[in-house]
Each structure stands twice: as C-alpha cells, then as structure tokens.
Structure 1
Amino acid sequence: MSLLCLRSAVFPRQRNFRSFLYSTTMAQMLEANRLANEKSPYLLQHANNPVDWYPWGNEAFEKARSEGKLIFLSIGYSTCHWCHVMERESFENKSVAEIMNKFYVNVKVDREERPDVDKVYMTFVQATQGGGGWPLSVWLTPDLHPVYGGTYFPPEDRYFGRPGFKSILQLIAKQWNENPEKIKESGSKVIELLKKHTAMKGVPSENYKKDIPGVEALMMCFEQFCRTYEEQYGGFGDAPKFPQPANLEFLMGFALFNRETEMAKRALEMVTHTLRMMAKGGIHDHVSKGFARYSTDKEWHVPHFEKMLYDQSQLASTYLTAFIVTGESLFEDMVHDILGYVLRDMTHSSGGFFSAEDADSYPTESSREKKEGAFCVWTYDEIKRHLGKETLEDGTALDEVFAYHYDVKKSGNVDPQK
C-alpha cells in the first residue's frame, strides 16, 4: 500500500449513508438498549451492544446507589477510531458484556454533548496515568467519585503484563465486594484533590498583575521548545506527533517580541520548518485537503486519519499568521487549502459545522466493515490504472510523474508496522 491521503471526502460519506441504512436494518433485528432513545450519534452507535448501557443521568446513579454497584463510565465520540475498536472487541463481546452487566452500572457519555463531564474525569485520568485520550474508561463509586481509569483496554491480557479489560473489570469488582468502604474513602480523597486542583483556576487573584507571566517565564517556554524540537522533520517530541498550533503561535509571538535577535531567528526557523514539513507530509491531505489529527510517526508521514474541526480552525489561523510574518506563499496556499476543505466537507447545508470526520472508512463499496484509513491509501496498480493512459506534452506518462512526486513505489511506501 502507498499513502497519499484521502481520495475523496464526499464519496466515503455516501458509503457511510448506505452503511447506515444497512446497519439500521440490522439493528432492528437486535434488541436495543436505553441508548436507542438518545439523539447523540455516538450513543446511538452503541444502542445495540449487549451491554446494559445507561445515558449519564439520575436513573443510572440511583440504580448504582440502590444496588450498591460501582459505575463503569465510558466516554468517547462518534468519529473516534479507538472507540470503535474497543466497541468491536469488548462492548459487542457477550462474555465481556456479561461481566459488565453483572457487576456494574454502565454509563455512556458523548464528550461532544457533555464536555463538562469529560473534563472532570479526563483530569483524573491524566493526573493518575500521566496521559489521557479516548475512549476514556473510568470506574466510579455510586457517588460519582473516580477510583480507577484509563483509555483503551484490550479485551484480554497482553504482553508485558498489561491486563485486559475483562481482568480489570473482575479485579475491581472483587475489591469492591471485599471492601467497598476502602474504595469509597479512596474515591472521596481523589475528588477532594481534584477540587483543590480546579479551585479558583482561571480566576485572577487580587494581585493579578503579579500573576501575569514575565520575560523569565517566556524564556523558560522558549528553551523548553528548543530542547524538544525535532530538527529534521520539525515539530516537538517523538511519535505520535501532533501539530500543536498553540506552540507555533507562541514562537511566532516570541520572535516578534524579540526582533532582530538570534532567539527570534531560531523561533521562526522552528515554526516555518515545522509548517513546511507538515504541508509536505501525509498528515496533510493532498487530495481532499485539510489536516489529520496527528501523525503516527515523527516524519509526519502516516496520519491517524481522523480530521477534527478544531484542528482545521487552529491550523488555518497559524498558517495565516506565518504568511503575514514571513510572506511565504506556501503558507497562504495552506490557508486556502484548509478553509476550502472545511467549507466543502465540514459545513452542514442547514448551517453550522461538523465536528470531525471519521478515521475509519470502507475499503470498497460492497464492504460491511470499516478499517482505519482504508479509503485513504492507494496501490501502485490503482494509480497505474487511473493515470497510465495519460501523458504530458513530452510524452512522459502521468502516472510516473505522480508516483515520483508522492514517492509511490510498487512495493508501497508505508511501513506495515505503522
């Protein structure tokens, strides 16, 4: 397989619609749970799981209190790839669902409907696990105090001693049955720490002028970016690599604040090189335009194929600022690229915008199972078939020019491990 990014953003949606009709017909043959009455696309995706899901609300909380059960909270959104994976592996698995239904009150939340709920429990998971993401998986006491959490869990135990979802479900249920008061006490302590962490956050103190970061803080930020900057491909840190437009905006502001200095030159070098490499790489959709959420490698080559509205808006602004600061035409082109994609594929005909485009798509029109990025990759033979008969004025085959430009090889240009 060779990577080029999305061939078309409209055609997959037509496929998705046909799949929706198909899945709806199939769904009618299955017993729906309470989520069938919800409006959220994400919750509706789980309406036919064998898991006895509840939406976030008093019905679930009262059941947990009256039956003395822990709550298993799962938070995600409709275009989340790993949410789809965990559903397929665990929530559609009858043996896993049996454990969930026996020991827990299971609650599903769409983070796009309830960002407030997501923020509380994401803060907990980030604080206890060192990172977060979706699907967000959190175990709560009946009083909604978190006691354990993580993101995606495989259904079974895996290498390096990583426990699977079934094992974690059974272990936490065992601990709860043996000593519920200890777990409640732990949950209460956690919630108090979270309250202290968020108390007065964002509210200026009486000495608010003293709270404004000074030059020393700006220098610390700049030095941190210099340490984590990746010289060859741009960006910060190793894989997975995110665009991080806020960091680039900071560096451009820093450069303007420190005009005519070596620091300003260095800051702009980091920004412009990163933006050029992103525009050149696979994280940028060269066919349908716009940017994927992140790259799975440090080269910006293989994207996580999901596209987020908030990334498009921030990156359009960052590329525009870079064009204003440098006058480089590539950056202006990227602004038109991103906004053109948003207006064409992320704008609803009745007004408003779609929040994201799914990472998963159908390999063919007849496919019934989505795969990550399936519609976004090409084989050399496909390119040859579509472009092989066309030539340039000098007789050069267009498919050869195309393959050379995008580094498409007969054996593929993507490491299968990525």
Structure 2
Amino acid sequence: MPNHLAGETSPYLLQHADNPVDWYPWGEEALTLARAQDRPILLSVGYSACHWCHVMAHECFEDAEVAEVMNRYFINIKVDREERPDIDQIYQTALYMLTQRSGGWPLTLFLTPDQKPFFGGTYFPKTPRHSLPGFLDLLPRVAETYRVRRPEIERQSASLLKSFANMLPSKAPEAPVFSERPLEQALAELKNRFDSENGGFGEPPKFLHLTELDFCLRRYFTAGNSEALHMATLTLEKMAEGGIYDQVGGGFYRYSTDKQWQIPHFEKMLYDNGPLLHLYADAWIASGNPLFARIVEETATWVMREMQPEYEENEKRTGAGYWSTLDADSENVEGKFYVWDRSEASHILSRREYVVAASHYGLSQPANFGNRYWHLAVAQSLPEIAENFGVTYAEARQWLESGRKKLLAQRQCRVRPGRDEKILTSWNGLMIKGMARAGRVFGRDDWVRSAICAVDFIRSTLWKNGRLLATWKDGNARLNAYLDDYAFLLDGLLELMQTTFRPVDLDFAIALAEVLLDQFEDKEAGGFFFTSHDHENLIHRPKPGYDNATPSGNGVAAHTLQRMGYLLGEFRYLQAAERALRLFYPALLRHPDSCCSLLLALEQWLTPPPVVILRGKAEPMAKWENALRQRVPIALVLALPVERVTPAALPPSLAKPVPSGMGVNAWVCHGVKCLPEVTDLQELLRISEIRGKIRSLFYN
C-alpha cells in the first residue's frame, strides 16, 4: 500500500511512496500526530539525483525489517531539500551543532515532537559497515534515549535554540565605513587557496566555487586585476578540459572527486550550469579564448535539449521552464550512462575519428573508471594531435566533431539517468540569467528565446496574487517562495531586459522587488530573512549571508536591488541594499572569501555601474548594442527601440526623448550623476569603459 507520500508532486518523495515505511510529508498532519502520540520524529532529507540517498533507500527504507522498526518507534517524515530548502538549511546547521561535522545528503535527524533535533547523521547502512552504526541497531537505541533521557534532551534543545539565535547577524551600534578592504582580503585568501596547477580552490572533493569565480572576473572588469583574471580563466579552462565537463553531451557535473577535475560525481544540476553559462561568456569577453565560446554553445545546447521541454508559442504564451536535475545513476550504477568501453567507441567511429578521439579524450590511456571503463577528459590537445599525425588542425577538429556526434547518438540509446522534472523558481532564475547573458554576448536569439519562455512560464504559473510560489510539477504550483526565488529571478529578469527589453518584464521585476522589501526585509536590523514574514513557523528563521553551492540570497538581493535602484532612481531599493551590507559588513571583514556575492554588492556600492539607456530605431541601435555587449560587461545597458517601446510604457527614469530619423541617442549615468545626451558611438564607448576612468569622468 502506498504511504502518505502518494499525493505529492516531488519526484523524490514519489520515489518513496511505495516504501514499507509509513512516510509523511512535512506538514501539520505529521507534526500533530507526533505531538498527540508523544513520539519522536525521524526526519529524512534528500533529493532525487542524490546517489547515497538511493543507496540508503535501497538498504533501509525498502527493507521490511527496517521499516517495521521505524514505524513502531517514530513518526517518519520525508523531505525534498530542493522543495524545502528552509527545512534543510535549519537541520543541516543543527547536525553540525550536534556533531561538529558537516552534513550532506541523505540527512537523517531525530526530532522531538516540537521539531527540536537531538541526534542525527547522514547516511546509515542497515548493518554496521565502514565505521558506521547499523540503522537497524540504532533505531531502538534512539527511541530508548528519547524515552528515558528527556530532561537532558530538553536542556540540549534549549542550548541549540540559543545557538541558532546567536547565529543571526546583529546590527552594529555604529554604522561601519565601507572600504575596499574586504575585496582585497578576499582576493588574497582566494589566492592562498588557489590550485595554481589545476585551477579551483581547496582540496578534493573539488566543488565549482562559482561565486568566487564570478568575484574574480568582476575584480578584473572593475579594477583590471590580472591575478584575479588568471585564477578565473585557468580554473574555467581546466574544468572545461576535465571530466567534470561532459565532453560528449555538454553541461557540467556537480563536483570532482580528484584535484585534476577528472572523475566527477555524475549529477548534473541546473543551479551549476546556469551560472557557468554567464561565467564562460564573461571569461570569453575578458580573454577571447575560443574554448570558452565552445563550452557556452555546447552547454546551452544541452540545456535546451535535455533540461527544457519543447514549447509552442501560442496565444497564451505560457512558455516552458527548466527542469531541475539529472541523476548520477543509471540502472542503479553511478556514471554508467556516461562512461565508455573502448571497444564500443572504436566500433562506432571511423578509423580517423577513433584515432583523434582516442588521443584527445584519453581512450588510448589506461582505464580511469573502475579499472575497466573510460570517462572522457581532454588528454592531448588537438594541435598536438594534428602535428603528431601530420594533418591540419581543421581536419583534426572535423574528425573529432563528427566522432563526438556519433558518440552522443550512441549514448542516447542507453538507459538514461532519472530526470527531476519539477520546476524550481530560484534555479530557473539562475538559468534565465545564464541563457540571457550568453545569448546577448554571442548574439544567439534561440538562447534568448529559451530564457524568455522560462520567464513567461514562471509569470503565468508560479506568480499568483502578487506572490511567487517555489515549485511546479505536473500542473501543480505550490509552496511559498523563499528569498532565493525572488532574488535569483529578479537577477535573471535584469539580465534578460538588457538582452531584449519587454515592458512586462520590467513590471514583473518591480513587483518582485516590492515583495522583497515588504515580506523579507528586516527593516530594523537590515538584511533579508530566508523565509517571508507570513511563512510557516519553524524552530529558526535564517538570514543567510554566506555562499554555498548557490550564492547567498542576501548577496544577490542587495546586488540586484542596487541595480534596480540605479536604473529606476528608486532610493528605497538602494537603502535596503545598503542596510543589508551594513548588517553583514563585520562578516565581510572576518570571512570575505565566503561571502563573495555580498562582496559583489559591496563593490557595486563603492563604484556604481554605468547605466546606459539607448533610444532609437532597432536597426541602427543594434550596432550600438553589439559594441557595448563586448566592451562594457559590467554596465547596465537597456536598449529601448522606438518600434516596440513607447514612452507611456516606461517609468520616468527610462522615458528618454526619441531621436529623429535613424539616429541613436544614449544617456549615461553613474550613481545619481548623469552626462549630457551622447549621439556618437565611439564617444559612448570611451565614456562607458569603467576600468579606472569612471570616477574621474563623473567626479573631477
């Protein structure tokens, strides 16, 4: 018989709907039952693409013996961390407080009926193994602890709640004086952690650290820092050539198990690939490296092929959002879909294709996956291969590309990894930004249309009664949206408006900004809570400032509200961003390299970006747009063609006079100061370039 998860929409929860465990989703029914029966809660948090979640499910939750013990002693609650990041955030922190060890997934915590954790861990096998206690032995011991040690548990809970309260940043008695010191400290600390040989930061397992890379690129664009550019471009180059990148199908996996980026954990996450699109586009602007342009094209192609359903632009224009994740496993084996048997590759490729592919991707070297299979990564460059075999580079590239297409076609016939087809508003915001920016930089209308369709989908299905919902699946939109949903989507809309301006997107962005201020801001202390003021009461209400796999919601909110404030002349947005920076400024001084998204907001506060408004007919204005998109990557540029955007559709700050004939006019502002109208493109490029010139231009 299915348990209480059968009516859920989350693919992860539905994976457990037929378990013999009497699972409940998080909600009042389960919480009330725990209180009424005075039974502890077994909370299990995971997500559909999680390899070790699958392992524990198979060993424990699908096992009748384990399920019987779980059902006897506990109220069992299963949570999809992608749908409920609020719950996951709280209890991952609680696990660290209880054990002084970092958590992960699956997260396994035991709670009192009033939701306070008293014991936990991550993955547990059914029987003792690898120095881990067996789940079957552990369950009755935990239940006994809850029964006989209640006073001790209550004291521990009180201490834990106090620790939670102390974690919230507190408003300083005196307003701090902002400076570039945190920016300089962050760069120095990143340099200390930088792997100068392989790129990236820290030791294996090696994560992508996307916000840190974004910060490095910003330091180059704003301050001309060549060391920052080197850290970013070397890392992006090594990742693009490694096994962390899908050399056959495009797109990046979640992290590398080794320092050379060779063998990944094979999940593909939307929240990684969206930011990577704009990072590689920006790195291409900075370096001109053709590798970066190719990675953008292949990744965007993968996104549209495998992470966005086909759509029809009908009268309602509902569009199509982006799906969430691809699983690491296929046929219950991690990576099986992606790795190769050498004989299989040689069988489907021509002799010339195989010679080039084997040399380039490492098939001619010993197996690197399970001592039997090959996971592809760049082992030898194409110029070297061309020279070794006495062919031209163009011939080698042609044979590699034709071989890659054959490998992709063959791979498509395999049993595919599971795909989590729920639409998450926050992750869609990240991908909208990536696709819009990549589309603008490389002039790809199809990528821009993909982003537009995602925006239209969210507005038509997840924007209800002036508020966002967090997730959509199978026609059901649900759950109050979080800070990240509003901040990331607002950021994506700002990027899309710079690529193709639609008044409806500006209206949507303003509405999102107003909800951020009304429902999430702490107007007294500053900063933004992760949950809205009318959200369900939990044991803690975080106000996150540190970056994780995704950027801090406070950092993105402060950054985007500043840009909205500069664009619209709306001081309320600028003041809210400044209040957030003042609240988190002590953290920026203590741990700057952990708060890079907030550092981007600080940098923008210290040196506001140029705001460029273009008016004129679409055809001549396109030349101006093309010049600006590659020359001024951090400027905020809106092109408003007179054929599609009337002054009546614009707020006063954007309703600039329309030039006569085929002329184009530009208005350039910096902070609250604006220059006279510019009618010459070369003059515009001169004054819009920010590196070291913008302050003297406006303030001397």
TM range (shorter): 0.7 to 0.9
- 5 Å-filtered alignment, 1:383-394, equals 383-387=345-349, 390-391=350-351
How far off its partner does 1:51 sit? Answer: 0.9
Rounded Cα–Cα distance in structure 2 between residues aligned with 1:222 and 1:148: 38
How far off its partner does 1:141 sit? Answer: 0.8
Q: Secondary structure at the match of 1:74?
A: strand
Rounded Cα–Cα distance in structure 1 between residues aligned with 2:139 and 2:9: 28
* Residue 324 of structure 2 corresponds to residue 359 of structure 1: no
- 5 Å-filtered alignment, 1:85-164, equals 85-128=55-98, 129-159=100-130, 161-164=131-134
Structure 1 residues 268 and 199: alpha-carbon distance in aligned structure 2, compared to 1, 3 A threshold: closer
Q: Deviation digits for residues 77-96 of structure 1, max 9, x if unmatched?
A: 22222211110111112222
Rounded Cα–Cα distance in structure 2 between residues aligned with 1:416 and 1:310: 31
Q: Secondary structure at the match of 2:280?
A: helix
Extract unaligned runs of 5+ from structure 1. Answer: 1-30, 363-369, 392-396
For these two proteins, the number of residue pairs brought into alignment is 364
Give aligned-pair identity as a percent. Answer: 42
| Root mean square deviation, CA, Å | 2.2
Rounded Cα–Cα distance in structure 1 between residues aligned with 2:325 and 2:83: 14
Rounded Cα–Cα distance in structure 1 between residues aligned with 2:256 and 2:138: 30
Runs of 4+ residues over 4 Å off in structure 1: 204-209, 415-418
How far off its partner does 1:237 sit? Answer: 1.2
Q: Deviation digits for residues 139-178 of structure 1, max 9, x if unmatched?
A: 111100122233222222224x432333432332221121
Q: Secondary structure at the match of 1:251?
A: helix
Instruction: Work out whether residues 97 and 160 of structure 2, in 8 Å CA contact, stay in contact via their aligned partners in 1.
Output: no
Q: Secondary structure at the match of 1:108?
A: strand
Structure 1 residues 242 and 60: alpha-carbon distance in aligned structure 2, compared to 1, 3 A threshold: same
Q: Secondary structure at the match of 2:337?
A: helix
Structure 2 equivalent of residue 15 of structure 1:
none
Structure 1 residues 300 and 324: alpha-carbon distance in aligned structure 2, compared to 1, 3 A threshold: same
Instruction: Work out whether residues 379 and 410 of structure 1, in 8 Å CA contact, stay in contact via their aligned partners in 2.
Output: no
Question: 1:251 aligned to 216, 222, 233, which one?
Answer: 216
Structure 1 residues 95 and 380: alpha-carbon distance in aligned structure 2, compared to 1, 3 A threshold: same
- 5 Å-filtered alignment, 1:34-49, equals 34-49=4-19
* Residue 402 of structure 2 corresponds to residue 402 of structure 1: no
For normalisation by structure 1, the TM-score amounts to 0.81
Structure 1 equivalent of residue 300 of structure 2:
339
Structure 1 equivalent of residue 165 of structure 2:
195
Rounded Cα–Cα distance in structure 2 between residues aligned with 1:307 and 1:206: 45
Extract unaligned runs of 5+ from structure 2. Answer: 312-319, 376-700
Instruction: Work out whether residues 147 and 190 of structure 1, in 8 Å CA contact, stay in contact via their aligned partners in 2.
Output: no
Instruction: Work out whether residues 70 and 104 of structure 1, in 8 Å CA contact, stay in contact via their aligned partners in 2.
Output: yes
Rounded Cα–Cα distance in structure 2 between residues aligned with 1:226 and 1:339: 30
* Residue 238 of structure 2 corresponds to residue 277 of structure 1: yes
Rounded Cα–Cα distance in structure 2 between residues aligned with 1:320 and 1:205: 39
How far off its partner does 1:205 sit? Answer: 6.3
Structure 1 equivalent of residue 338 of structure 2:
376
Q: Secondary structure at the match of 1:374?
A: coil
Q: Deviation digits for residues 317-356 of structure 1, max 9, x if unmatched?
A: 1111211222222222222222221111101235111011
Instruction: Work out whether residues 124 and 132 of structure 2, in 8 Å CA contact, stay in contact via their aligned partners in 1.
Output: no
How far off its partner does 1:415 sit? Answer: 5.3
How far off its partner does 1:102 sit? Answer: 1.6
Question: 2:34 aligned to 53, 64, 67, which one?
Answer: 64
Q: Deviation digits for residues 57-90 of structure 1, max 9, x if unmatched?
A: 1121122112221101111122222211110111
Instruction: Work out whether residues 33 and 49 of structure 1, in 8 Å CA contact, stay in contact via their aligned partners in 2.
Output: yes
How far off its partner does 1:133 sit? Answer: 1.9
Rounded Cα–Cα distance in structure 2 between residues aligned with 1:344 and 1:126: 39
Q: Larger relative CO (CA 8 A, sep 6+): 1 or 2? A: 1
How far off its partner does 1:257 sit? Answer: 4.3
Rounded Cα–Cα distance in structure 1 between residues aligned with 2:28 and 2:189: 46
Structure 1 residues 332 and 120: alpha-carbon distance in aligned structure 2, compared to 1, 3 A threshold: same
Of 307-316 and 184-193, deviating more is 184-193
Q: In structure 2, give the amino acid aligned to 1:337.
A: E
Rounded Cα–Cα distance in structure 1 between residues aligned with 2:370 and 2:189: 31
* Residue 190 of structure 2 corresponds to residue 225 of structure 1: yes
